[in-house]
Structure 1
Amino acid sequence: MTTAAPRALIELDHVSKFYGNIKALQDVSLEVHAGEISCVLGDNGAGKSTLIKIIAGLHRHDEGRFLVDGEETALVNPREALDRGIATVYQDLAVVPLMPVWRNFFLGSEPTTGVGPFKRLDVRMMRETTRSELLRMGIDLRDVDQPIGTLSGGERQCVAIARAVYFGAKVLVLDEPTAALGVKQSGVVLKYVAAARDAGLGVVLITHNPHHAYLVGDRFVLLKRGAMSGSHTKDSITLDELTRQMAGGSELEELSHELERAPSPTHLGGHPVTDDTP
């Protein structure tokens, strides 16, 4: 007796999005499962940003189906997405650089203590929770009171991931988290992306780097000019093939032929050209 496949946390089924006559996204399908990382790859203008906005509740899709926990839906705003367990971490992190790490961790969701005129921010709880939650994800910060702007780009990404896990996200969408980072910092961020997966979240990793995607990904969707150019599981594609498809495949081969060095003019007609050649 075969067991049914687990239901996807979110699923995009042949989803399209139009801006007037412009087809920003056309017939794109994506599944995100608990404990898995689904990677969306594509160059600039491929449709990755539009896909993020649909999942995050910023824009509604025009065609196809968007399912959350098996229920067809159309998110009306980012707050509804958060309420449904979908957290999005954008490349340009929404942090206040001069505020301490713990304040940014709870930004917009600050707990209070006391009642009436004696109500105040529960600073002690926020400090302790921030420190313990970061440690739980394997992030050992020297001081959660330091301004978050003093952290490296990779460390800020990791704080954002830990924050999403703490506030109960079931799906974590990461927008190019390693785009502006060096090799070492990228490795740090990918380690915490894997930690979020191991914590049971379904992760959507948006990237243009096939090497980073293949290190952690379970599923791969390739976008090109708003349409899907490929959909694979990790056991069905190699890194070399994923890179080739990401780079354009046959288009890249055609370009390489065009860029091949032309025959030397000194050997026209198969004979060396000399000053005496008529």
Structure 2
Amino acid sequence: MTQTDTRTPLVELSGVSKHYGTVRALEGVSLQVHAGEITCVLGDNGAGKSTLIKMIAGLHRHDDGVLRVEGEETTLSSPREALDRGIATVYQDLAVVGLMPVWRNFFLGSEPTRGTGPFKRMDVDLMRRTTHAELLRMGIDLRDVDQPIGTLSGGERQCVAIARAVHFGAKVLVLDEPTAALGVKQSGVVLKYVAAARDQGLGVVLITHNPHHAYLVGDRFVLLKRGTMVGHHTRDEITLDELTRQMAGGSELDDLRHELEKSTP
């Protein structure tokens, strides 16, 4: 058993299932999220990735199996409870207000204040300084935090969301397809900051359908198909070619290739 395996995971799912009436969204899924590691969850549309995110984020309760947070068996009843336990989720459609400045979005819902009574007001200077410093600590050199966040690229907005989660004490960072709508260059920028979050000791869950992006940063890989787990590998157990093959369908693609070859005149 490796040293990593002996540590208590920050989040662990063991045989977790979720059903909506007669619809099986997830069945018997297991994964571990360790501090300083990135666990990649791969699957096509309908594989169960969204359901998995919602369970870890506290939006949906699991029906069967066990969910543990830092070794304690638990059921997360709300996103607030998940956040209080150190689990921050960054969704693909980032919850930002496009016309507000970067610093305001960074502290949205958690604004520090100064003064008391009728003289109580937001500490704007502190928020500006903190936002710039925290972004810089993650390696994001954003000169003007007063610019509307809507003027940033998709990759830059993802990076601001990652830095925000780190600043507010997240231990586990769940990222929902952060590179799905981005080009090659912007995807690289986001993956760089995903790796930076890992290097700061966070446990990261990266949801993606892109095996190349996953293999660039991943330490563990969980493959989902139609709600079931069809693969679970550590980085030293699988190559990119094999990960891509399993993600793309593996034997099903081989069968299709043979069928196409037979039908070719």
- What band does the TM-score fall into relative to the shorter chain? over 0.9
Give the secondary-structure state (helix, strand or coil) at the position aligned to 1:93. Answer: coil
Give the secondary-structure state (helix, strand or coil) at the position aligned to 1:259. Answer: helix
Gaps of 5+ in 2: none
Q: Give 1:6 deviation, angstroms.
A: 1.1
* Alignment of structure 1 residues 152-163 onto 2, 5 Å: 152-163=153-164
* Alignment of structure 1 residues 103-142 onto 2, 5 Å: 103-142=104-143
* Alignment of structure 1 residues 55-70 onto 2, 5 Å: 55-70=56-71
Q: Give 1:261 deviation, angstroms.
A: 6.4
Give the secondary-structure state (helix, strand or coil) at the position aligned to 2:81. Answer: helix
Q: 1:268 is matched with which residue?
A: none
Q: 1:255 is matched with which residue?
A: 256
Q: 1:17 is matched with which residue?
A: 18
Deviations 1:45-87 (A, max 9, x none): 0000000000000000000000001000000100000000000
Go from structure 1 to structure 2 and tell me whether the alpha carbon gap of 1:262 and 1:62 turns closer, same or farther (over 3 Å shift). closer
Q: Give 1:142 deviation, angstroms.
A: 2.3
Query: What amino acid does structure 1 have at the position aligned with 2:110?
Result: S
Distance 1:102 1:167 in 2: 14
Q: What is the TM-score when the length of structure 1 is the normalising length?
A: 0.93
Deviations 1:222-251 (A, max 9, x none): 000000000000000000000000001000
Detail structure 1 runs of 4+ shifted over 4 Å in the superposition: none
Distance 1:232 1:137 in 2: 29
Instruction: Work out whether 1:101 is the aligned partner of 2:112.
Output: no
Q: Give 1:260 deviation, angstroms.
A: 2.1
Distance 1:262 1:18 in 2: 40
- Compare CA radii of gyration and give the structure with the larger one: 1
Q: Give 1:5 deviation, angstroms.
A: 1.1
Q: What is the TM-score when the length of structure 2 is the normalising length?
A: 0.97
Q: Number of residues paired by the alignment?
A: 263
Q: 1:32 is matched with which residue?
A: 33
Give the % identical residues.
81
Instruction: Work out whether 1:184 is the aligned partner of 2:198.
Output: no
Give the secondary-structure state (helix, strand or coil) at the position aligned to 2:128. Answer: helix
Distance 1:111 1:252 in 2: 55
Q: 1:149 is matched with which residue?
A: 150
Q: Give 1:263 deviation, angstroms.
A: 5.5
* Alignment of structure 1 residues 187-266 onto 2, 5 Å: 187-260=188-261, 262=263, 264=265
Query: What amino acid does structure 2 have at the position aligned with 1:37?
Result: I
Instruction: Work out whether 1:164 is the aligned partner of 2:194.
Output: no
- Give the superposed CA RMSD: 1.1
